[in-house]
Amino acid sequence: MARDRKSDTQKQSADAVFDDAVLADCFACLAEYPALALAVSGGADSTALMLLVKRWLSRNLDHAPRILVLTVDHGLRPKAADEARWVAALAARLGFDHQTLAWRGEKPKTGVQAAARKARYSLMTACCRDHRIPALVTAHHSNDQVETFLMRLQRGSGVDGLASMPPRSRRNGVDLLRPLLLVTREQLRSFLSAQGQDWCEDPSNIDENFERIRLRTALGAANVPGVTPASLWLSAKRLARARTALERTTVEFLKAQLKLDNAGFGSISLAALLGEAEEIGLRALIRMASAFGGRRALRLMKAENTYAKLSSGGSGATLAGCHFGVRNGILTASREYGRMSRIPVPVENGALWDGRFTVSVQTRETTPQDMTLRPLGPDGARLARSAGIEFGAIPRAALLSLPSVWRRDELRHVPFAIGSCQFADQSVSQPEILFANHDILYNTSFSGTNPS
């Protein structure tokens, strides 16, 4: 693991790359958070991130955020557990708390890297929510940007895909921060060597069975006049600037045109949507699909096909778990009931249900274990109406997908209804259930397509 120390001159050169001014610039976005999680695998990049954050925290910070270091053991290599312990020991030496998260269950035989990445972010963002940590920091750097640009170029990605990774985005209700996007892989390794700090080498980083590694190798060997990592990075940077402008325009359009209902659906004039520039209309459609469909990433081509169907006079469509219906010139977006899980889940304080609603429960003692949440569905809607519950102007598609509280097979509460199903057990208060995806509709840093 250990690397040779640099000479004093080399150490000074490496330190100069990360002087106080550079650190302040790189990590300015971190200072606004009360707590941060660092994604650290033990590789060179994330190990450098951990040391740099420690150095940054020591530089004139009156209110330093609380730090939790997260390492994911994917269970794919025998040495992964040892590497997680190595990170834990280094984190302790730096004064950081540490937690290892395990990816359990059966692993896929193909698409391993993509599945591992999805599992990794799912585990880390869930841990952040559990610990009330609003942001997760990763060690992505400029070389990663170039490789991502090329991978997405091969797939015919649009502006968002080719703009590669933004410095700040949001995933599973947690801010995702990438403060090192202007730093190179070589600079991070030089910094570690200058500190005499070793790191763990993951053999998958040289395994050309993986697309990213093949591109990394080809990029190093390529000799196309004028096409360099620096020029590719510059293109990604300029596309990111265009993406920011497009997203701001989309947010302004939705704020002006979308009528949002707290019951988790929205309506908009179809003429207004189609009368806007196609790129803005398409982005608005994608945001609505993600917000009302349960935060599912979608393929750009599927969104384009849905937009084309609505443009050609279609009366409705589905996209990524979202149902779009057209009536009297109004497009209504709501959850697609047919794509929802019918499995009851426990009513837990702070839970995110169906990727759309947050649940808040206050009890005099404890929440009964047999109190559950599930979609209202046609049977629940009939039960509610027989109890005198009315739903006003909530369209049927949105009505069926409403959250509802049950105890065993008894309907106890239907949020957003006119009237209320009362709990027979007065030791349990009525839960507060709120639509959670305003940020998807109105946050300029949102990206709802899967560019890979």
- Whether 125 and 174 have beta carbons less than 8 Å apart is answered as yes
Asked if residue 221 has pLDDT above 50, the reply is: no
The per-residue pLDDT for 308 is 95
The per-residue pLDDT for 210 is 59
**364 in the same domain as 322:** no
Query: Above pLDDT 70, what percent of the chain?
Result: 84
Stretch 262-266: mean pLDDT: 92
**82 in the same domain as 51:** yes
**327 in the same domain as 400:** no
Asked if residue 426 has pLDDT above 70, the reply is: no
Stretch 230-246: mean pLDDT: 82
The edge-to-edge listing of strands for the beta sheet with 174-177 is 97-102, 66-73, 35-39, 135-137, 174-177, 168-171
**291 in the same domain as 161:** no
Summarize pLDDT for 281-336 with one digit per residue, the tens.
Answer: 999 999 999 999 987 778 888 999 999 999 998 888 999 999 999 999 999 999 99
Place of tokens 């990816």: 103
Q: What is the largest CA-CA distance in the chain?
A: 81
The better pLDDT of the pair 199, 2 is held by 199
The edge-to-edge listing of strands for the beta sheet with 410-413 is 345-346, 371-375, 403-407, 410-413
The whole-angstrom separation of Cα 423 and Cα 366 is: 15
**221 in the same domain as 149:** yes
The whole-angstrom separation of Cα 6 and Cα 19 is: 17
Summarize pLDDT for 339-382 with one digit per residue, the tens.
Answer: 898 888 888 777 788 989 888 876 545 455 678 889 999 999 99
Asked if residue 6 has pLDDT above 90, the reply is: no
The per-residue pLDDT for 452 is 42
Summarize pLDDT for 373-410 with one digit per residue, the tens.
Answer: 899 999 999 988 888 888 888 999 999 999 988 888 88
Structure tokens at 163: 């703009």
**309 in the same domain as 161:** no
The per-residue pLDDT for 163 is 75
Summarize pLDDT for 54-75 with one digit per residue, the tens.
Answer: 999 987 667 789 999 999 998 8
Owning domain of residue 415: 340-436
Asked if residue 254 has pLDDT above 80, the reply is: yes
Asked if residue 22 has pLDDT above 90, the reply is: no
The better pLDDT of the pair 43, 155 is held by 43
The whole-angstrom separation of Cα 288 and Cα 334 is: 8
**400 in the same domain as 301:** no
> Model's pTM, two decimal places?
0.69
The domain boundary, picked from 290, 320, 337, lies at: 337
**372 in the same domain as 330:** no
**113 in the same domain as 27:** yes
Summarize pLDDT for 431-449 with one digit per residue, the tens.
Answer: 788 898 888 898 877 766 5
CATH code, domain carrying 333: 1.20.59.20
CATH code, domain carrying 76: 3.40.50.620
Structure tokens at 193: 């060597």
The per-residue pLDDT for 224 is 47
For residues 21-52, b (16+ Cβ closer than 10 Å) or e, as one string?
Answer: eebeebbebbeebeebbbbbbbbbbbbbbbbb
Q: Is residue 445 part of a domain?
A: no
